[in-house]
Structure 1
């Protein structure tokens, strides 16, 4: 039996290529993958391919709390879809729907048992909002990953 699913969304005013690059490149992820200025990533490792692994080590800047978000990529469709499984077996699906110069990102994830649902939803929505801000304001045009 699967866990309940939470869904969060945002619309990013940028090209699908730039959104994809910002979402999948460690040098970008480290800048946006946090819900607020109180958090930061102390490590980001990505082997971005089906069967590849990821690790986002998040921590409060004061060091009072932190966790590793890690697992493996199950399915990748360039500019459209990323499905992954976390190290504790929960599934997440990220879809990227392009409409002109906007990309709707929808993240649906199985909840974890210890944290209240509203806290998980608010945390993930805040991370998505931070991604939107980063992707819309980042002018780096380096190449996207393979």
Structure 2
């Protein structure tokens, strides 16, 4: 469900890795399935990604106990290699991710339209937890 107001939510982190590695780990499905969860009891068993304007992506997110799952997907609006990705989710919400090269570090800033079913703070915490998992995964590889 699309956001009914103009609220945008921003999350960010700095990954101790060069932007080329960060980009690869962010966009390639074989990496995405290893970090894309907000907690240890969730996982992403399947992901596909056609990283280009007009290309589609899909991640299957599931509780490890099988009690719940959902598809997270959309269509890319803009892709600038090692710099920027924007997409529109299946419900019409927009997401923008910026990658800022800082020598051997990469700052990631993600701005998204919240959905209307859950509190904004909860959504921000969930998306931040996934971003934190990405940071941890990228720095350990």
TM-score range, shorter-chain basis?
over 0.9
**SS of equivalent to 2:39:** coil
Which residue in 2 is equivalent to 1:142? none
The match for 2:69 is: 66
Q: CA RMSD in A?
A: 1.0
- Within the candidate set 3, 28, 32, 2:31 is matched to 28
What aligned pairs does 1:40-79 form with structure 2 within 5 A after superposition?
Answer: 40-79=43-82
Deviating beyond 4 angstroms after TM superposition, the runs of 4 or more aligned structure 1 residues are none
**Aligned pair partner of 1:112 in 112, 115, 119:** 115
Q: Is the 8 A contact 1:58 1:67 kept in 2?
A: yes
Structure 1 residues 3-22: aligned runs within 5 Å: 3-22=6-25
Give the whole-Å Cα distance in 1 for the aligned partners of 2:122 and 2:74.
21
- Separation in 1 of the partners of 2:72 and 2:5? 19
State the alpha-carbon separation in 2 of the partners of residues 112 and 42 from structure 1.
24
Shift of 1:43: 1.4
Contiguous gaps of at least 5 residues in structure 1: 139-146
Residue correspondences, number: 138
Partners of 2:41 and 2:119 in 1: CA distance: 20
Distance 1:117 1:62 in 2: 26
* TM-score, structure 1 as length reference: 0.91
Question: Quick one: distance in 1 between partners of 2:116 and 2:78?
Answer: 25
Question: Which of 119, 132, 136 is residue 133 of structure 1 equivalent to?
Answer: 136
